[in-house]
Chain A
């Protein structure tokens, strides 16, 4: 048993790729060892910017000899088949053995694979690992790249150390030969280091200013940064992402604290933090009162001779330049009011078919106001909702958001505060993008909720209208996230959103957008024509030609706008009200799909959501969930499980008999459209009850006791369930259903459905259909698993 060390040295590996590279190295090593039949125990992988390392402990010195045999075709089989078998197994025909299998002479290929020395195996495995290594991005380099077949690596590969026990594993990849020698720290150590074995590797490197264990370097960054902050009387703002990144950028991390000019603290703290973090990979610090302090911690890669004074000073200057840029933007942006910024949104395309961000803002403002006025978002001032929506995207045209897009919303919120707009408005501007994905804070402030919801509903409906729903893994307009946000806002805030109605409002908004374009195009065209007309009086030909060419340009633009309006109207011109409803239902179904994902974590079964959604007409997320919760509680009881079993049995019989139930039979009677009222949801229960009673009264025979009991149970349960659903008391509706469990069980026990008497058979199938219909009042049980 010996230990194996592999080090692959290269030019600086991007920090973000190192974790993946460690996993890849271990995976490929295990793959190679598995293929050779070597049992691999403990494997350690390390990374620095300049090397990937793997240590496998206790590998055997050699693999054991094995004998493999394969059964081939029978003797006398066509030559082709026998030759093929030989080829596949790499043996010649003469080597085949013949044995009897079930009385037939059969060829066998027997291969004795001798044991192999581990170092030999490793020498073959290493080039395979390097060649098969998968990087997010890889490149070619050097003289060998004259051919595109040359080795690819994340950056030029510069050396291989491969030692098994104390012995070199000799191999070569693209001209790079393995050896004992590696390099220490780029600046702290010159010349090569000779590694003796896996055990002394890490320590020899440490002596040459390289900490090869990434976790140790992460600890050094984490603790060193915290210590530097504490020594300055400050608290480090923890940031694990920065810890990992800085550990991935250094072989010898030395956190150093520096100060920046206090005057920069006028800039919002998020801006300072982002500038420091994104551009410079610095930590920031807080003072005792929790406010951002004028300090940063950078992580150097050297133990500088002057204790880091020059490094800190250099970094301070760079940060100062960045922060003065940020302050310049912050001050410049404040010179314009949000309202004036918002007018510039006309220049930003939201989507070529859906117009500008200004168009969208107008729609969102109307929708937000409607959500408030209808009380869908309770306790929400419609005027504030509209105001907030009108300003919510204004910060997109600020210099600051241009520089740091992730500050959208936040900057608008700050500007609104500076302008002393109502608190509700600035909060809504800041938070209306939320929630961004699962786990993000879900706003509950009414004005914020109204704007957020309006924004997302408009986005969802608009992209479905122009047929851009997400496909597979592609969701360029983040519609899944928007739908998930709608679910979160509705469920957290218990908002009763009539989605179909709300989406119909979004539709009206889009039509208005298109009509606005058409009108604007028309008036612009008229204006440019009238300007051009004035040129007729001009004597100055040069000026005339200039004005005419301006008119021509402006007409070309207005024509473009008119065409855009026409295209959008064409998309929105549904042939019938149904088409619009179908489009809205498509969106509702999409939202409910996200609800399933969202609720999965809460332990809600997706099949139950389907069972309630399948009833149709349900577009209220909160009510749907309440029904699902009641259903889930019910299904988990004995009564529920048995009723489900009874339902499935009834449904199977009806399906087998192709029985269309009460409704089908009535239709067969030839009465004049007896179901006309059934489509009216208010009348449905009444009609069904009346039909059922008529049926019960019509029985031409004396029902058996279990049959009678089921009829009576249905007579009692149906109105109870209907009333309970009306009152949104779903637990009571379930209880009413539960009362059917014993009678349906008894019915199946005692009564023969397929009686010889056709009247009895028909009546009993009707009864089962009525039972099924009663259950469907609560949920479509056919969608439930189990």
Chain B
């Protein structure tokens, strides 16, 4: 059956998969953990380190507990999808590739106004920053486009280009729909609301009202301890997973409104220490293998 990215959310995703697969990307499945952004996927953070080429594309569900609106806001969700592409080193024609990918999903650049508007990216949590743009389509931000310069406090050598598409927004635009729940999910009558509305209602309630905060605090402390344990035993990928877990627990505690302004900074610092510590350890652990292939290379 022919795909129709302009009428079906899943066809849009599949079209992107086809396109980036044809560019030599590894098509990955989502990371099986709760995380706030596709950037947290190890395929992005950890793979941005080191000298080896790496091209990957994947959908990552993102959890932003404080953005929950009980299914009542047409654009805001506590769970949504990002499509992420990472190309290392950034190819010279990355902008052209990106623009082609928009055409593939049905955006005609002679009918719609595509613009690259300065928007630099920084994640103190990951010790990372990069320069780039938010890409506008008729005034709407549809993609975050970044050239990673540092990750985990280390210079990216070489630099990776990261593209993060906001899938629901893009689909709403392409399908001409004003409410995310009205999106056609499969082109055969199943809507986004059929799939996710009840989920948004229940999860918003849990995020804001129900989640046991004592248990969350406890889990945070346990994640922190486990992160340390993993670092002490030289398994930084496992340590990094605990940092991702702690980061989401922190976001949940924020949504529950139990972290005071004063405490907020200290929790963020704890998450940052875990994430950066894991990235650093990962880079140090991998360096001998990297240098075996790239003798000139240093961390």
Contacts and interface: CB of A to CB of B under 8 A. Distances in A.
26 contacts: A12-B133, A139-B131, A141-B89, A142-B159, A143-B158, A145-B157, A146-B157, A146-B297, A147-B296, A155-B147, A186-B99, A186-B114, A187-B110, A249-B117, A250-B115, A282-B139, A302-B110, A305-B111, A311-B111, A311-B113, A311-B138, A314-B112, A315-B113, A317-B178, A318-B139, A348-B261
A252 to B, nearest CB: 11
Interface string A299-313: 011101110001101
Contacts of A304: 110-113
A280 B139 contact: yes
A142 B95 CA distance: 12
Contacts of A137: 120, 131
A231 B40 CA distance: 50
A753 interface: no
A16 interface: yes
B24 interface: no
A16 B133 CA distance: 13
A547 interface: no
Interface of B: 51, 74-75, 89-92, 95, 99, 109-118, 120, 130-131, 133, 137-140, 147, 149, 155-159, 161, 173, 178, 260-262, 294, 296-297
Dominant secondary structure at the A interface: loop
Given A301-B115, A314-B112, A317-B178, A140 B138 contact: no
A314 B157 contact: no
Dominant secondary structure at the B interface: loop
A139 B109 CA distance: 27
A142 B140 contact: no
A137 B146 CA distance: 14
A718 to B, nearest CB: 62
Contacts of A140: 147, 149, 156, 158-159
A11 B95 contact: yes
A348 B262 CA distance: 9
B157 A147 contact: yes
A523 interface: no
Nearest to A135: B131
A298 B139 CA distance: 8
Contacts of A186: 99, 109, 114
Q: Which has the most chain A C-beta neighbours within 10 Å: B74, B109, B113? A: B113
A319 interface: yes
B99 to A, nearest CB: 8
A364 B114 CA distance: 50
B160 to A, nearest CB: 9
Contacts of A321: 74-75
B147 A302 contact: no
A238 B219 CA distance: 55
A347 interface: yes
Contacts of A306: 111
A14 B159 contact: no
A148 interface: yes
Interface residues of A, number: 48
Contact of B138 (A11, A143, A188, A314): A314
A752 interface: no
Contacts of B294: 146
Interface string A148-171: 100000111010000000000000
A302 B113 contact: yes
Contacts of A298: 139
A310 B138 CA distance: 8
A181 to B, nearest CB: 15
B70 to A, nearest CB: 14
A12 B92 contact: no
Given A146-B89, A318-B139, A321-B75, 13 more contacts: A11-B95, A137-B131, A141-B147, A145-B89, A156-B92, A156-B147, A186-B99, A186-B109, A301-B113, A304-B111, A304-B112, A304-B113, A314-B112
Interface in A277-311: 280, 282, 298, 300-302, 304-306, 310-311
A155 B133 CA distance: 10
Contact of B139 (A146, A154, A319): A319
A15 interface: yes
A142 B92 CA distance: 7
A186 B98 CA distance: 13
A14 B118 contact: yes
Interface string A44-61: 000001000000000000
Given A298-B139, A314-B139, A318-B140, A146 B51 contact: yes
Contact of B112 (A145, A154, A155, A311): A311
A338 B140 CA distance: 34
A677 interface: no
A314 B51 contact: no
A138 B133 CA distance: 14
A349 B110 contact: no
A187 B95 contact: no
A142 B90 contact: yes
B169 to A, nearest CB: 10
Contacts of A144: 158
Contact of A156 (B90, B110, B158, B297): B90
